[in-house]
Amino acid sequence: MPLLHDDALAAAFDRGADRYDRLVGLSPGYHAHLRRSARRLGLPDGGAGHRVLDLGCGTGASTAALAAAFPAAEITGVDASAGMLRRARSKPWSSRVRFVHSPAEALHRAGVEGPFDAVFAAYLFRNLADPDATLAAVRGLLVPGGRLAVHEYALSGRRADRVLWSAVCRGVVLPLGTATGNGDLYRHLWHSVASFDAAPAFGERLRRAGFTGVRVLPLPGWQTGITHTFTGRRATGDAR
């Protein structure tokens, strides 16, 4: 199946926005895993005095995780889907967040300027046509020593995890997605994960992009081997 990208993917998310929270909420541990990944940014003092970018914030589940982990941080949420952002802006905590409608590849044109102390990206990079270009842009937005955490479906490389992911998609994800009338989005979800970097390869991609101290961290529960947190930093002496 051809994957969705750019305007086609944003339009699919627009169509699915109103039911998206309900569907992802059926996944055991979904919100707890996001909070765990957000905490792995490790910002001190509840994030006081720190600017944090939530890149690909969707309906705001990742933003809520950041707000819970770092209640004193200044948070900017960015997403390419106007429909998903509409849902994010409806959340009770949304008044403390600046939301920007923009693809991850066009942050400067949308007025998203650094420096940021941390960037969080959940379920974003496998959806990008050019993840390396976006990683380079993210590195440029971070202060030297700034932190990146990527929360992503990235299979371990073990055959058992690939088989489990396909079984979950065939048995749960696709039937639910098709029932919403937006089956293309959920077929994309299945195949975008299957065709994306395995977890060790994405860790190497971060290192090639110039991030230091890269760690590939598993998440618990049924998603062990399917979802990981990737953390890294812009080098302290990187002044470009």
Residue 170 domain-assigned (yes or no) = no
For the chain, the domain total comes to 1
DSSP at 44? S
Tens digits of per-residue pLDDT, 67-126?
A: 999 999 999 999 999 999 999 999 999 999 999 999 999 998 999 999 999 999 999 999
Query: Encoding tokens for residue 11?
Result: 């339009």
Sign, Cα dihedral of 35, 38, 40, 42: negative
Q: What is the pTM of this model?
A: 0.95
Tens digits of per-residue pLDDT, 111-145?
A: 999 999 999 999 999 999 999 999 999 999 999 99
CB 178 within 8 A of CB 186: yes
How confident is the model at residue 127, as a pLDDT?
94
Residue 21 domain-assigned (yes or no) = no
- How far, in Å, CA of 127 to CA of 142, rounded? 22
Residue 173 domain-assigned (yes or no) = no
**Longest CA–CA separation in the chain, Å:** 51
Residue 172 domain-assigned (yes or no) = no
What is the residue range of 62's domain?
27-155+197-234
Query: Encoding tokens for residue 44?
Result: 């001190």
Residue 71 domain-assigned (yes or no) = yes
Tens digits of per-residue pLDDT, 6-52?
A: 899 999 999 999 999 988 888 889 999 999 999 999 999 999 999 99
At which residue do the structure tokens 């699919």 appear?
12
Residue 4 domain-assigned (yes or no) = no
Residue 55 domain-assigned (yes or no) = yes
CATH of the domain at 49: 3.40.50.150
How confident is the model at residue 2, as a pLDDT?
66
The residue ranking higher by pLDDT, 186 or 124, is: 124
197, 171, 176: which is closest to 186 by C-alpha? 176
Residue 1 domain-assigned (yes or no) = no
DSSP-H helix ranges across 50-168: 61-69, 82-89, 131-141, 159-168
Q: What residues does 97 pair with on adjacent strands? A: 75
